[in-house]
Each structure stands twice: as C-alpha cells, then as structure tokens.
Amino acid sequence: MELGKFEILEELGRGGFGIVYKALDKILDRLVAIKVLQPNLVNDPTFISRFLLEARTASNLDHPNLVPIYEFGEIEGRYYIVMSYMPGGSLKELLQKEGSLSQGRAVEIIQQIAEGLTYVHNQGVIHRDLKPGNVLFDAEGVARVSDMGFAKLIRSDNSTSMSTSGDLVGTPAYMAPEIWNGQPATSATDVYSLACILVEMLTSEPLFGGETTPMVMKKHFERLQLPRNFPEDWKEIIKASLEKDPRKRISTVEQLVSGLKSTIKDRRISQVTKKNTPIFFGIGVTVALVVFLSIRLNLFSAQPSSTAVPESVRTRVTATKLPEPTPSIKLTQTVLIEHANPKTDLGNIRVGLIETSANVVSLEDSVELSAVIEGNNIGYIYFFTGLLDETSNSIYVIDTDYLESSQTGQESGVYYPIWPDAEQFRLNFDFEPILYTITDGSQEVLALFNPQSYGRNASDAVYFVDGTFTFQGTGESRTAQLLFRDGKMFKVLTYTGSSTTGAPYETTPNVGDTFTVSRRWMDLDTNGSVTAISFDAGDTITFSGKTIEWGTQYLPDGTYLVGFLVADMDGNITPAYTQITVR
C-alpha cells in the first residue's frame, strides 16, 4: 500500500484520531510513522480546518523529548501526519512487557517527559491527552512525547466534543477532573495525567481503572486511594499532584519532578560502611585494579611544561577557565596483591595534576575533571571512583570504567581506543555523583561494574559484576559473575572453585535463584597505604524472569577519591587522583 511518496510497511496502532503506520519515505529513504485520520473525522470541515492549524503549531515545536513532526497534508481526501519513527516502542508496551518499574528508572523516564512538557508549556501548549501510549522511545531509549498539540482538537475551551458521536474523546484513566467538568485545561492538567502515569509505572496497573467510562470517571472524583505497594516516600508528592481542584494542585511538571528527586535523595544510601568480616581476599579483581594497586600511586605527577595541548575527543562539556588544582589524597601500596605479578614499570606515560571546575558537587550537577596526558603508545584509560569510609579506614570502590575515544582500533579481534596523535593531549571528563545498580524494574541493588573488554563502540563494551549465585532448588552457592553489554545482562557465569579462577559454567537463572553482589574495599593503614583488597556481601537480587539491566542512583554525601588510570599497550598504568565532596 502506498500513500503518495510513502510506502506503508505495517500498522503500528489505532486510536480515536486514526491509524498509525510504519512507512518508508521513498524520496528521503528513511523510516517514518504516519497517522492517517479516521474517515468520519475527514467529513467535518470544522475539524479539518482546526486540525491543520494545530498540526502547523505542533510541527514548530522542537525539543529532544518530543516526537518530531515532519509534515502533514492531504492526498485524495486522506489527511495524514508524518512523524519520526520511534523504534523503541511505547511506555505502554514497556509496562506490558516488563511490569512495574523501579523508582530510579521511573523517575528517569518521568524527567524526560517533563522536560518536553515544560518546553511546550512555555510555548503556550497543553497536551491534554498524556498516557503511556503517547510516550515513545527513540533508538537511544530516550522518552519522547507524541501527539503534542493535537489533544487540543479533542475539546477546545469554547466548543463541545470534536467526536462525531458527541462523546468526550480522550483516555479516561488519565483525564483530570477539570476536563470531565468541561473546564479549561492548564499545565496542572498535564501534571495530573503525568502523576497517573507514574503510579502505573510503579504498580503496573492504572490508578483509575474500570470496565466502563462512567466507572472510571467516578473514581477520579472519589477520595484518592494509592495502591498499598506504592512507595511511601512518594505518596505526599503524588497526592499533591492529584488534587481534584487544579488550583490546589502542583501547577508545573518541574515541581513534580523536583519533589520526586528530593525524596530519592533522602532514600538513596546515606552511608556506606564496611561489614566486619570480608568474604574473601583478592578475588575477581580487574586487571586494571590489580596493576594500579601494585604500584605506588603518585598523586602529584609533574605538569608538562608545554601549553600547546590539543583537546581529546572525550569532552562532554567544553572547558572554561579552571581553578587551581585541589589537594589530593595520597595512597601508597606496600603489599602486593596475592598471586598477582603485574608490571610495575610506569613506562613513558605522565599524567598531570587533575584540575577540577569545583571542589564540591551537589546532586544533579557535575564537576569537570581535566588533566594533561603525555606519552606514546597509550592504550586504555579508566575512570575510578571510591568513597573513603573513615570508620574502617577503607575505600569503598564504587566505579571503574572505560573512558571512550571517538576512534577505535582493532587487532586480532581485540578493540582498543585511539587517542589524539600527539605527545600531549588534554583529557576532559564530567564527573556526575551517581553510582550504578542492577535492576529488573522492581528490585534494585548497588553493584560495581568492572570493565572486561573494550568494544568497537560504547554499546559493545562488556562489564561484569562479581558476587555469589545461589540455586533455589538445592541451596548451593557459587562464586559468580553477571556479564553486561549495552546496559543489559546477557550471560551468567558460575565457578566451581572458591574464586573466578575455577572452571566457569554458563548458567541460566531460574525464577527464585538469587545473586548477592560483592562489594570491594581497599584497606588502608594509618599512613594511607593500601594493605589489602577485601570483599564483603552487598545486597541480593532474586531472579524473577524479567530482564536484568543496569541503573543509577545518587551518591551519598561524603568525600570521594576520583581519578584517571592511564595504561600503555604493555599494561603499565599511571594514575592521577583528586578529591571531590558530594553534598
């Protein structure tokens, strides 16, 4: 089937306005989504004239969290809207597939929706028909709001319903009381709908459900009853977003997101303390960590004298004038890791003092770190984050990660980054106060993701999480690793021995099996020397049959050791560190 220059490939869905198709723009050779209006709407001249006006308005809206509208028009009496094709599907489909989401994932999606809504509200546009089916995900997984502006066609401030049957057009489960009462919509109307969506994301059930439209409408006007399994720390902000009277309701989506995040901040781990008894010593240490802990960690490398330093390609924020370098923690290694025989020659790489754009960072902010790197034959560069626990005089290892270059080399199937072709270059990186978790959408536990292999691009890189796998049926426990690629777990390895040096077995988790995360600690003596690498048990996640992914949480308040680990192709590593306070 064809519609002008568009070849219709498949039907994506149906709604009150029309049918949505996936199509190919044969002239531009790109996939698009086309919404073709229902024939009964085409017969209403008033509707068509206002449709064209609203479509023109919506097509001028441009924001990363809105679905772009490419064009609209009419061919042989068939009116249509052409939009960007969203391969990630809808939020409705996500909830049908995965069920309830974690608070961290839910607030990430809600924030993306809110950013798009804030933009359109500032343009004087109200959506009026927010629902999970109107939240789509692009190829990168970013949430985008669709049908922006067209909901005005459903009911204007001075008209009756635009449906030919005379019934109110919309999605009853998400419609604010003022819309049911025929009152004008405001930004608070979209706040109400967004709060309904959030409750459904966390419970997998619509807050206002019912078999008939009158039954649903009645629930919107009854005393609010949140589900028992709704998070306690979000109840007050949701109640304020679902006030029946829009004058008493939170008025902007920004206020809703801010309230959600403030409670998350309080909910995130407020303290990380080491348990008294470590599980084991020296097991599962990444090559990078083994090497850098086996050398003296020199935090005051000399700054290269040259000032003509090219910028590296890994720059997320353009550097402005930076302050003087801040004082740094100095660690010295006096005990080598057992059974390890790493190279300790620093080679010809030098890393200058790390310069920071600030000494203190708050949640939702970032600090730019910058350092001059000098030398040849530079291979992998890692970023390291650790929290100093003064009670146990240990550093809790939070993150070790690859820093990416825009160019990638390959030799014998092994990928590696290619850095600027210069003896000196400046590496810039934005440190954000987050740590990583593993989650199935309902459960979420803290985890240390260790880099295992650099990929052709960022989505191909492989990371692993150390821990203990327990089989529900037998109660047997094994040392194990969860392997992740592109944010999703793709393999579980269990080992027969007491460490990952034993024979590995690829294991398929059954529902009820569990994985307890191992937390890694760098034990210090009174002089700040690293005396041992020890592990203790973190939190446990139970396999439920849902997809395991990685997520993020905010870091707790504290002082952090952050820095770069620069390796040459022979495995020699040169570190540089500084301190950042999260407050």
Known catalytic residues? 129
Closest CA to 385 of 436, 313, 453: 436
Cα–Cα distance measured from residue 153 to residue 51, given in angstroms and rounded to the nearest whole number: 7
Conformation bin of residue 169: beta by default, left when phi > 0, alpha when psi is -120 to 50 = beta
CB 296, CB 336: distance < 8 Å: no
What is the number of residues in the chain? 583
Q: Which residue is it, tokens 């009854």?
A: 222
Cα–Cα distance measured from residue 434 to residue 203, given in angstroms and rounded to the nearest whole number: 25
CB 237, CB 172: distance < 8 Å: no
Cα–Cα distance measured from residue 246 to residue 77, given in angstroms and rounded to the nearest whole number: 40
CB 511, CB 544: distance < 8 Å: yes
Cα–Cα distance measured from residue 376 to residue 350, given in angstroms and rounded to the nearest whole number: 10
Element (H, E) at 369: strand 367-374
**Intra-chain end-to-end CA distance of the chain, in Å:** 59
Opening angle at CA 378, ends 372 and 380, nearest 5: 100
CB 299, CB 576: distance < 8 Å: yes
Q: What token pair was written down for 158? A: 């001075």
Question: In 268-382, which residue ranges form alpha helices assigned H by DSSP?
Answer: 287-293
Q: What token pair was written down for 363? A: 């949640």
Cα–Cα distance measured from residue 464 to residue 30, given in angstroms and rounded to the nearest whole number: 37
State the burial class of residue 94 (Cβ atoms within 10 Å of its Cβ: 0-12, 13-18, 19+): buried
Closest CA to 477 of 279, 277, 281: 279
Partners of 470 in the β-ladder: 477, 514
Element (H, E) at 103: helix 103-122
H, E, C per residue of 47-94? HHHHHHHHHHHHHCCCCCCECCEEEEEEECCEEEEEEECCCCCEHHHH
Cα–Cα distance measured from residue 178 to residue 406, given in angstroms and rounded to the nearest whole number: 51
Element (H, E) at 260: helix 253-267
